[in-house]
Structure 1
Amino acid sequence: MPALSLVVPCYNEADNLVELHEQACAAASTLGVDVEFLLVDDGSSDDTLAVARRLAGTDPRVRVVRLSRNFGKEAAMLAGLRHARGEAVAILDGDLQHPPELLVPMYTMLVSTDVEQVVARRDRTDDPLVRSLLSRLYYRLVNGLIESVRIQDGVGDFRVLSRRVVDAVLELQERNRFSKGLFSWVGFPTGTVSYRNVKRGAGRSGWTLRSLLNYGIDGALAFNSRPLRLLMHLGGWAAMAAVGYLAVLLVGYLVNGVTVPGYITTIAVITGLSGIQLLAVGVMGEYIGRIYQEVKARPAYLVHEVIESPGHEDD
């Protein structure tokens, strides 16, 4: 059994894998421990699989898990964790934005202290002001909604986990996975290593504004039912406002007699209540859709093949 498994979800990272492998090998040499490299090809459309095959053919420590199609990063991470054999498991992106050299202090902290997972926290020194403000606003909003966990700003999926934490995460069988929350939910003592933001290597990020928005919604809904409760409160306040407005109209009728109803007011009330209703239906639909996915119990991913070096020996 290797001391450390490096799980790398890969989607169109052909131009970065060789450099990532070299940097990770340097980090492994510094650590002086047995390491396995687990590259998870998440249905890439470029030469990622071919590059990963070549690496597996030249380095017996490299294993490649090829998924049958693109299932998304969450599924790729789950596949990597399930196939990892190490006593400790590190997760890092394949785009070089997670510096492999940081594995040295992270793994050292894991084995030399009583922590069970070590996370890398990225500072936002070089981020654009608008992006930094939006990020802080999002984390404040999400942490205000989530009931059972707390998500730290700047902490992503780059982390080193003990085997105990990996096994605990793998026991969570939900299909709609939000790993940032899951790693926090399982608990265990956690250490933090800070680092400066690193620009992506070659290629373009697969994260679009739409996918980031959907990911943010997943985070907001994954660990709480407060949006439903907020809608209930909103409905209650709307009902109270309607009763208050009715009382104002009644007083006006008693004082001034019959008056012509306000057209603009009527349209505003109808539009406002319709918006609240559509919002309520949308939020409930999100929860119902997640229930639907869980009930179907489809696997999070399907493996097409596992590629190993001919000289690789199973433990």
Structure 2
Amino acid sequence: MHNEEDTIQIFYDAIQMEMPNINSEIDFHFVDDGSTDQTINILRELAEKDSHVHYVSFSRNFGKEAGLYAGLKQATGDYVAVMDVDLQDPPELLPEMLSGVQSGEYDAVGTRRADRRGEARVRSWFSSQFYKWMNKISQTHLVEGARDYRVMSRQMVDAILSLSENQRFSKGIFTWVGFKTKYIPFENRERIAGSTSWSFWNLAKYAIEGIVSFSTMPLTIVTVLGMLSFGASLVGGTFIVIRALISNSSVAGWPSMVTIMLFIGGIQMLSLGVIGRYIAAIFMETKRRPIYIAKEEK
């Protein structure tokens, strides 16, 4: 959660209403992703009233992926449910999701939005295109409309936590670790209160992170562009030389300058495409920075 002072109590009460339908003891592990409102104070009060409520508060905003990782790391139960606190994830699905995992038939039961009613058409179109192209360029298949909202077995959670990579994209990680997963469709829901911190630009950056984490296709495209540019330099150079020999109408020095620039530019793009693949992977992981820093825990 990030700046969710208006939704915490509503979320807590909604889960309590589902308790009679859930044949398990529940612990709450709230993750405060560096909120600047009264989120942490509300969590403190809730934890004082209910011993099953726990929380971790970050020293600053580390982002959605760090929050997910922290929540999974804090949770100690045999089954773990990941939910957003804004109630866009329907609590009434929890009993069905939990029973599907408890039965042993599935290792995880997730959810996906069957529609995007209430969402801007442009945003919906870009989201649809992301899933479409991501599945084409990556070996990790993503279910369109899939939410992070899911119930997982302890074994699957431990497998996810074993991937301690810094550049995380949970939707891809949930699929990459394997395990048998079922998806339950539900109609799109609006936030129960407050306002989202996810702008179109934030979603675009998140999509780029997902592509970079689970596909090397962008680097391949850069390499191909370098090869095409290099080829174009050869064709262009040949054309310029022939034209100069036949008509001699070119400005002095211009043909050789353009040919050299195209040649060097093509070689540079080709080299960056190959070397960048290794540097990008090494650079982010060799820093060994923690995924998050906790300021307060209970």
Shorter-chain TM-score tier: 0.7 to 0.9
Matched residue type, 1:139: Y
| 1:154 and 2:171 matched | no
| 1:32 and 2:23 matched | yes
Tell me which of 142, 147, 150 is aligned to 2:134.
142
Residue 276 of structure 1: how far off its partner (Å) = 10
Tell me which of 62, 76, 83 is aligned to 1:71.
62
Question: Which blocks of at least 5 consecutive residues in structure 2 are unaligned?
Answer: none
Distance in 2 between residues matched to 1:280 and 1:183, nearest whole Å: 34
Matched residue type, 1:66: S
Q: Secondary structure at the match of 2:29?
A: strand
CA shift digits 1:92-117 (9 cap, x unpaired) = 11111112112122112222352111
In structure 2, the residue matched to 1:50 is 41
In structure 1, the residue matched to 2:97 is 106
Tell me which of 2, 5, 15 is aligned to 2:6.
15
In structure 2, the residue matched to 1:231 is 222
| 1:124 and 2:106 matched | no
Residue 227 of structure 1: how far off its partner (Å) = 1.9
Residue 275 of structure 1: how far off its partner (Å) = 10
- Counting matched residue pairs gives 295
Tell me which of 93, 97, 118 is aligned to 2:88.
97
- 8 Å Cα contact 2:29-2:75 kept in structure 1: yes
Distance in 2 between residues matched to 1:279 and 1:45, nearest whole Å: 45
In structure 1, the residue matched to 2:183 is 192
> Taking structure 1 as reference, are residues 288 and 54 closer, same or farther at Cα in structure 2, changes over 3 Å only?
same
Residue 291 of structure 1: how far off its partner (Å) = 2.8
Distance in 1 between residues matched to 2:131 and 2:146, nearest whole Å: 11
In structure 1, the residue matched to 2:297 is 306
- 8 Å Cα contact 2:226-2:266 kept in structure 1: no
Of all paired residues, the percent bearing the same amino acid is: 37
> Taking structure 1 as reference, are residues 136 and 299 closer, same or farther at Cα in structure 2, changes over 3 Å only?
same
Question: Cα RMSD over matched residues?
Answer: 3.0
Question: Which blocks of at least 5 consecutive residues in structure 1 are unaligned?
Answer: 1-9, 308-315
Residue 250 of structure 1: how far off its partner (Å) = 4.5
Residue 183 of structure 1: how far off its partner (Å) = 0.7
TM-score normalized with structure 1 length: 0.83
Residue 186 of structure 1: how far off its partner (Å) = 0.1
Tell me which of 253, 256, 259 is aligned to 2:249.
259
Q: Secondary structure at the match of 1:22?
A: helix
